[in-house]
Amino acid sequence: MDILKTFSLFVVTALTEIIGCYLPWLWLKQGKPVWLLLPAAASLAAFAWLLTLHPYAAGRTYAAYGGVYIGVALLWLWMTDAIRPTLTDWVGATVCMLGAAIIILGARHA
């Protein structure tokens, strides 16, 4: 699996997890309808399934995914919550993404 496909799969995986957690948050914190738990459950099921599509061992996938998740979560913060991430948010996400890249690239050569 090439790097762009792997990264894209990580991004989609992160979005399904964030959506699966955001919908219950809306219900619990903002009084939105309880039926939001149904698409939330479907999204989290998709998240678990997407993790199985990654070509690496589970632990390595989870470790690399964590770095990508942080970047996607900051974009979610900006686009959904209308809160612009700070410079330190972006620096931290960059460090995490570099760590994820090292893990993924290292796995390709192992």
The domain of 19 spans 3-109
Mean pLDDT of all residues in 5-10: 86
Angle between helices 58-80 and 37-52 (to 10 degrees): 140
Label residue 6 by pLDDT band (50, 70, 90): confident
**pLDDT band per the 50, 70, 90 thresholds, residue 98:** very high
Tens digit of each residue's pLDDT (9 = 90 or more) over 63-84:
888 888 999 999 999 999 999 9
pLDDT, tens digit (0-9, with 9 covering 90-100), for 17-39? 999 999 999 999 999 999 999 99
How many domains would you assign to the chain? 1
Residue 84, phi-psi category: left (phi > 0), alpha (psi -120 to 50), beta (remainder): beta
Please report where in the chains the tokens 């809160």 appear, as a residue. 83
Enter the DSSP assignment of 1: -
